[in-house]
Amino acid sequence: MEAQLKNIKIEKSKTTKINEVDFDNLAFGSVYSDHMLVCDYKNGAWETPEIMPYQPITLDPAAKIFHYGQSIFEGMKAYKDSSGATWLFRPKNNHKRLNISARRLAIPEIPEEIFMEGLTTLLRLEKDWIPSNPGSSLYIRPFILASGNGFHASPADEYKFIICCAPSGAYFSGKVKVLIEEKYSRSANGGVGYAKAGGNYAGQFYPTQLAVKKGYNQVIWTDDNTHEYIEEAGAMNIFIRINDTLITGPTSDRILDGITRKSILEIAEDEGIQTEVRKITVTEVVRAAKSGALKEMFGAGTAAVVSPISTFGHKGVDYDLPELQDNFASLLKKRITDIQYNRAEDKFGWRYKV
């Protein structure tokens, strides 16, 4: 039996923005629902969460989020099935990972009952904001920031846990062209690469802008030491298919333990697809591309689910991937999304009814 919160305070919005939203043309994460959840950490404890109308938050200029970057987040989605029921996908994994990030950034961990009951209470209130269009969902952004004040370089004494929601369409449209990074690094051994820390993503923007100027959509990140090992694709985990084997790198200090990543590995095994979790070198990928053994590359993450890569660039040369009819990316994406939208059996126990 899960612990239950008492007396979540709910202040309903007097108006709604929902009638102003074009649900047939939703950009990703740019329209926000009517309510949000806020829970403060003060005097050494998390207080009772409150649900209130979506609104700006007020912080002192000395709040430590502005100076020392204590900020972590998660990405989740709520799905509506054909009968109108609401589902989450492996939400307790998101709670667990948020706390892994919290520990690494010296942020107090959020109790499961606050995360889960606060989330489900918010989603029941916002159920009309969950799109029913194919491929659409309600993107959910839980995050924690340091709200306590002080210029001293130390952890804050106060924090805010917030959940906001954004009805969203598909994250990417079409395949992407990527550049294998040879200079900049996303993360390093002993660092915070495995945490969903805001600063990780801030550090990605500049190298990605440089790649975009060269005609690419995203960067393939390599290891910080030799730039010889493939690690992540933009803000996603990466999968590489050589012949009929699906390969992804092992999680580490540098690589995020993606929930979509681990789901793909389990579904691939269920489909009889041979998988390998191991280090893979840029040299191996280039050699496979030249020989024709490289069949697919795709990113995997909550927002896009699976994002196929059409071309990768390395040392001034572009390598196009073949367009396969029976590709792993489409199969795996369909298996995952059929579970998420309650269109298929969930033999893994991943679906969570709100």
Kindly report, residue by residue over 196-206, the tens digit of the pLDDT: 999 999 999 99
Helix axes 259-270, 91-104, angle to 10 degrees: 140
Residue 202 CA to residue 65 CA, distance in Å, equals: 14
Query: By the 8 A CB rule, do 17 and 34 touch?
Result: yes
Banded model confidence at residue 2, pLDDT cuts 50, 70, 90: very low
Segment 288-309, tens digit of pLDDT = 999 999 999 999 999 889 999 9
Banded model confidence at residue 1, pLDDT cuts 50, 70, 90: very low
Q: What is the DSSP letter of 128?
A: G
Q: Does this model's pTM top 0.85?
A: yes
Segment 71-107, tens digit of pLDDT = 999 999 999 999 999 999 999 999 999 999 999 999 9
> What is the average per-residue pLDDT within 10-37?
94
Does 3 score more than 50 pLDDT? no
Could you tell me the domains of the chain? 9-168 (3.30.470.10), 176-340 (3.20.10.10)
138 strand-pairing partners: 78, 167
Does 268 score more than 50 pLDDT? yes
Banded model confidence at residue 220, pLDDT cuts 50, 70, 90: very high
> What is the average per-residue pLDDT within 35-63?
98
From first CA to last CA, the distance across the chain in angstroms is 16
C-alpha dist (Å) from residue 3 to 42, 111, 324? 21, 10, 49
Q: Please, is 262 exposed, middle or buried when counting C-beta atoms within 10 Å of its C-beta (0-12, 13-18, 19+)?
A: middle
